[in-house]
Chains A and B, each alone.
Chain A
Amino acid sequence: MGEQHDPDFAVEYRPESTQPVVPQEVQDFLFGLPDVSGFRFDGEPSEKRIIVMIASQLRANNLPHQYKGYTLEPLVTGKFHAY
Chain B
Amino acid sequence: MPRVRNVAVAKPVVEMFAADYAPKVGVPTSVEGGQLTEPMIEAYQQLSQELSLLPRMGARRWVSLRVDGADISVSQLIIGVAIGAGTDVAQSKGPPGDPVLRLYVDKELSRERVAEFVAIAYDLRTLGSGAVPFEVVHTGPIDLLAHRMRMRPAPGGISCGHINITAGTLGCLARGRKAPRDGLTLIVSNNHVLANVNTANQGDPVLQPGPADGGMQPADVIAKLERYVTIDFTRSNFVDGATAAVTNPQDVRREQLFIKNAQPNFLTCGTTPAPVKNGLIVGKSGRTTQMTSGRITGVGAKIHVDMGGGRIAVFEDQIEIQGITGNFSQPGDSGSLVWTWDSQRLPVGLLFAGGGGLTFANPIHHVLNALDIDLL
Contacts and interface: CB of A to CB of B under 8 A. Distances in A.
Nearest to B333: A83
Contacts, number: 135
Interface residues on chain A, size class: 35 or more
B290 to A, nearest CB: 14
Contact of B239 (A13, A39, A76, A82): A13
A79 B197 CA distance: 19
Interface stretch (B23-31, B37-45, B223-231): B223-231
A37 B331 contact: no
Contact of A8 (B227, B316, B370): B227
B353 A81 contact: yes
Which of A18, A37, A80, A83 has its CB near the most chain B CB atoms (within 10 A)? A83
Contact of B334 (A18, A37, A83): A83
Interface string B186-228: 0000101000011101100000000000000000000000111
Contacts of A69: none
Nearest to A77: B356
Contacts of B111: none
B332 A53 contact: no
B299 A80 contact: no
Contacts of A68: none
A31 B235 CA distance: 13
B104 interface: no
Nearest to B232: A12
A76 B353 CA distance: 16
A81 B226 CA distance: 25
Given A2-B199, A38-B302, 13 more contacts: A12-B229, A12-B230, A13-B366, A17-B317, A19-B299, A38-B303, A40-B300, A40-B302, A78-B356, A79-B356, A80-B306, A83-B1, A83-B354
6 contacts: A2-B199, A8-B227, A9-B228, A13-B230, A37-B304, A83-B332
Closest 5 CB pairs of A and B: A19-B300, A77-B356, A38-B303, A13-B370, A40-B301
